[in-house]
Amino acid sequence: MKLQKLRSITQVVSFITLNLGITQALKTGIICPVLNCYACPLANTACPIGLVQNFIILGKIPFYLIGALSLYYTSLGRAFCGWACPFGAVQDLLNNIKIRNKDFNPRPVKYAKYLVLLVTLFLAWLFVDTVFCKFCPSASLFAAIPMMFINPDLNHGFFFYVHLVTLAMAIVLFLLVSRFWCRYLCPLGAIMGTFNSVSILKISLSQEKCIKCNICLENCPMGIREIDEINDSSDCIKCGVCVEECPHNALKFNFTLN
């Protein structure tokens, strides 16, 4: 089976798995490795970014959160972004709509998402509130809009309309730049990316097979520009597009502790 077909299947399975909370008993509270708003009607896991904001508000050290995320990301790094995140899957779908110039592929700004993460933490402390959640476009799509249909009589309030605006803006940006959210804005992507170079799952390059044709980079949905940055860069989501597109099989997935 081709890698990208397999990836699409895992994205669908992940979405279903993260939304099995049909009853209260199925809402596990297990920490999710990807963005999955706890306000999603069927969400059965806890969003890491929502959790870390709540711990800041409570003034507590999130030992369980730190341990869970360390376990997730030392295992697979940012592959969760490329293979399991429902919001990432939406971006992949929109990337298939051919309205943008393929030559328009701006370089990722490596520290942008880290700045978003710092601002998210600071605002939670400053306002004693989960401020990021009120603007998160993932929550807009998977929580705010579904709730509108499930509870049409509910007074949605000001931030419901803020969610609609942020989602509309995000969709436009996704159509212009592939994986825009993952490249520049995702605070969870910033956390994941710090583990990329030490994660057990790696994309390795065979220097003997590589002829520097750069086909892998031309097809990278994250806009990575250097072959040496594949796998180790905090921007690499280990989606495997480069592995599949390489005509000389110079790239491959492997598991290693080195």
In whole angstroms, give the CA distance from residue 174 to residue 23.
Answer: 34
Confidence of residue 23 (pLDDT cuts 50, 70, 90): confident
The model carries a pTM of 0.92
**Cα–Cα distances in angstroms (integers) from residue 52 to residues 120, 221, 253, 254, in the given order:** 10, 28, 31, 31
* Residue 201 CA from chain centroid, whole number: 17
pLDDT attached to residue 100: 64
Q: 209-223, pLDDT tens digit by residue?
A: 999 999 999 999 999
**Cα–Cα distances in angstroms (integers) from residue 234 to residues 49, 135, 188, 191, 246, in the given order:** 18, 24, 11, 9, 21
The residue behind tokens 């030392």 is: 74
Confidence of residue 258 (pLDDT cuts 50, 70, 90): low
- Whether residue 97 is predicted with pLDDT greater than 90 in this model: the reply is no
Q: 117-144, pLDDT tens digit by residue?
A: 999 999 999 999 999 999 999 999 999 9
In whole angstroms, give the CA distance from residue 235 to residue 178.
Answer: 13
* Residue 182 CA from chain centroid, whole number: 6
